[in-house]
């Protein structure tokens, strides 16, 4: 090839390079992804109440500090805060992948006329958002969601799918008491073949005292709070409708153990532990006045756990000191 041709080709190539570089230099940076439209546009702690409709049942819950309580049904019961918070925080995170005009869809066909789940959320500021969850689009693997009366229907990731299978057990709290452990002021634990355990918290200094014979013995507050927290947290394995089982079979007509906890404000919860379940000895028939219409199944080991803890010798406060060290200004040794 002639050297002149090579030179011309080189010039053309470098000219093209400079041209392309200049074009790219002058171009504005690509726009970032469009702003995401989340199902709920608020923070979790701004949500004051929610109504969750699953099939034909509507559960109404409201915030109680860091927990959730039922308004209806199960008024007065705590909701399972882990389940509720997980559901709501998922709704805050999930965003629309695409949108379709609502009038272009057969709403009955995509289950938005009779939604699988409907959630209405109200914030502390009074704003409310309603979400209706429809069917799974088999082609795109996305779920149809209709928010409020918007003209567009959202398609979201199927991540929310497993939550559409929520049921009342998942939503209900699983504690045997509803009284915060630190609010409890009196405990009475009794049963067959065991010595009754009684302890009360003195209102002034918060010291727990046990009654052992004639004398009062100081109880280890940390141990008491730990066992009360166990009762407050996940203990219920299942809810069974009361009246289905014969009381003689459940043993709740003459329970093996009875526990009464009283709050400082006078509220109280009564718990009874009955027999273990036939064919499932790891479960025990139980009752808590918190669930007056239900029998509950608890772990059968709960009885031993309570026996071991509500025992005078174990509960004795063996800590020698209980003082505020910042107040010490004299030491005599």
Whole-number minimum distance, CB 226 to other proteins, in Å? Answer: 16
Q: Please classify residue 165 by burial: count the beta carbons closer than 10 Å to its beta carbon, then call 0-12 exposed, 13-18 middle and 19+ buried.
A: exposed
> Measuring CA to CA, which residue among 289, 273, 264, 271 is closest to residue 186?
264
> Which of 56, 103, 205, 332 is in the footprint of other proteins by CB under 8 A?
332
Neighbours of 236 (CB within 10 A): 21
Interface region with other proteins, contact rule CB under 8 A, candidates 156-164, 272-280, 291-299, 315-323: 315-323
Interface region with other proteins, contact rule CB under 8 A, candidates 211-219, 224-232, 240-248, 274-282: 211-219
Work out whether 56 is an interface residue with other proteins (CB under 8 A).
no
Interface region with other proteins, contact rule CB under 8 A, candidates 16-24, 213-221, 234-242, 253-261: 213-221
Q: Tokens standing for 179?
A: 């009284």
> Which of 218, 223, 229, 258 is in the footprint of other proteins by CB under 8 A?
218
CA distance 309 to 223: 8
CA distance 192 to 313: 19
Task: Pick the closer one to other proteins by CB: 107 or 217.
Answer: 217
Task: Pick the closer one to other proteins by CB: 220 or 299.
Answer: 220
Q: Tokens standing for 157?
A: 């990731």
Interface region with other proteins, contact rule CB under 8 A, candidates 55-63, 276-284, 299-307, 321-329: 321-329
Whole-number minimum distance, CB 293 to other proteins, in Å? Answer: 44
Tracing tokens 């005292």 back to the chain, one arrives at 209
- In the DSSP assignment, the letter for residue 56 is T
Q: How many residues bind other proteins (CB under 8 A)?
A: 19
> In angstroms, what CA-CA distances link 261 with 190, 232, 291, 318?
12, 11, 15, 24
Taking each helix axis as running N to C, give the angle between helix 221-232 and helix 302-309, from 0 to 180 degrees, rounded to the nearest 10: 160
Work out whether 329 is an interface residue with other proteins (CB under 8 A).
yes
Work out whether 321 is an interface residue with other proteins (CB under 8 A).
yes
Whole-number minimum distance, CB 201 to other proteins, in Å? Answer: 16
Residues in contact with other proteins by the rule CB under 8 A:
215, 217-218, 316, 318-325, 327-333
């Amino acid at each position: 090839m002639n050297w002149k041709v090579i030179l011309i080709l080189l010039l053309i190539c470098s000219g093209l390079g400079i041209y392309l570089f200049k074009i790219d230099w002058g171009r504005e940076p690509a726009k970032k992804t469009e702003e995401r439209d989340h199902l709920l546009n608020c923070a979790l702690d701004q949500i004051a109440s929610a109504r969750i409709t699953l099939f034909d049942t509507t559960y109404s819950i409201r915030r109680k500090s860091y927990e959730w309580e039922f308004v209806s049904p199960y008024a007065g019961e705590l909701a399972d805060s882990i389940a509720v918070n997980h559901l709501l925080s998922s709704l805050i995170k999930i965003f629309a992948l695409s949108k379709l005009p609502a009038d272009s869809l057969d709403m009955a066909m995509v289950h938005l006329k009779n939604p699988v789940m409907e959630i209405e959320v109200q914030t502390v500021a009074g704003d409310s958002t309603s979400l209706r969850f429809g069917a799974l689009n088999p082609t795109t693997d996305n779920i149809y969601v209709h928010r409020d009366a918007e003209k567009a229907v959202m398609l979201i990731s199927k991540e929310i799918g497993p939550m559409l299978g929520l049921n009342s057990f998942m939503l209900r709290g699983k504690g045997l008491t509803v009284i915060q452990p630190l609010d409890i002021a009196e405990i009475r634990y009794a049963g067959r073949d065991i010595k009754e355990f009684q302890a009360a918290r003195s209102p002034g200094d918060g010291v727990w005292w046990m009654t052992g014979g004639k004398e009062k013995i100081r109880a280890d507050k940390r141990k008491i709070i730990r066992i009360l927290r166990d009762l407050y947290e996940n203990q219920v394995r299942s809810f069974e409708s009361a009246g289905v089982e014969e009381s003689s079979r459940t043993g709740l007509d003459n329970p093996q153990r009875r526990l009464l906890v009283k709050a400082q404000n006078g509220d109280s919860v009564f718990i009874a532990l009955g027999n273990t379940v036939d064919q499932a000895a790891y479960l025990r028939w139980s009752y808590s006045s918190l669930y007056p219409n239900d029998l509950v199944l608890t772990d059968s080991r709960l009885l031993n756990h309570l026996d071991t803890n509500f025992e005078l010798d174990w509960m004795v406060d063996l800590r020698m000191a209980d003082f505020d060290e910042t107040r010490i200004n004299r030491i005599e040794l």
